Amino acid sequence: MKERPLMTRRELLRGGVRCAGIVALGSGLGFLGGRGSAGNTVWQINPEKCIQCGNCSDYCVLNPSAVKCVHEYRLCGYCEPCFAFFQPDQPEQTTGAEGQLCPVGAITRKHVKGPLYEYTIDEEKCIACGRCVKNCSLRGNGSLYLQVRHDRCLNCSQCSIAEACPSGAFERVPAGDPHFHRIKGKNT
């Protein structure tokens, strides 16, 4: 039986580098292939299925989440008490932090005239907890809803929010028309 010669350190190192290069190349191609496997689609939230569970805030790989609250102004006029802005069932509606429903102060209001105010969402602050959306849907006109902001989203092929969504509201939609809009309570 013929003995195999021992490998030199240089040969061992060269083989290890080759192996690492092949693994890296395979991983890179797998990553790119995984991103493109969904075709020309992106993740989006169907507001008709969304139950505002808070998972968009908790499960997104980004911090803060790529999901943001959207205000459909065509559904909402100016109002005095906004159910998405104030804590529910509070005897005195105060604009102080203790009276606001949003935990990060992402909703602001600007006086328009008389008792009327305009409410806006500061998306940079929004953490997608869904509290304002839920209260607006339950007590208001449903003009607030959650949407994925694609300038922030990584479009992971295995979205952790989609996997954690209990209502199946996370869907793949065509990248050319990536948003749901609520008009009179309907998606278009």
Is residue 43 very low, low, confident or very high in pLDDT (cuts 50, 70, 90)? very high
Mean pLDDT for the stretch of residues 129-154 = 90
Residue 175 included in any domain: yes
- pTM for the complete prediction? 0.70
Q: How many domains are there within the chain?
A: 1
Residue 8 included in any domain: no
Domain extent for 113: 41-187
Structure-block tokens of residue 60: 């997104």
Residue 168 included in any domain: yes
Helices (H), 63-164: 131-139, 160-164
Residue 52 included in any domain: yes
Q: Smallest Cα–Cα separation from 134: which of 53, 39, 71?
A: 53
Residue 118 included in any domain: yes
Q: Which pLDDT tens digit goes with each residue over 23-34?
A: 555 554 444 444
Q: Which pLDDT tens digit goes with each residue over 146-159?
A: 999 999 999 988 89
Mean pLDDT for the stretch of residues 49-74 = 92
Which single residue is written with the structure tokens 């929010």? 161
Q: Which pLDDT tens digit goes with each residue over 95-113?
A: 666 678 889 999 888 888 8
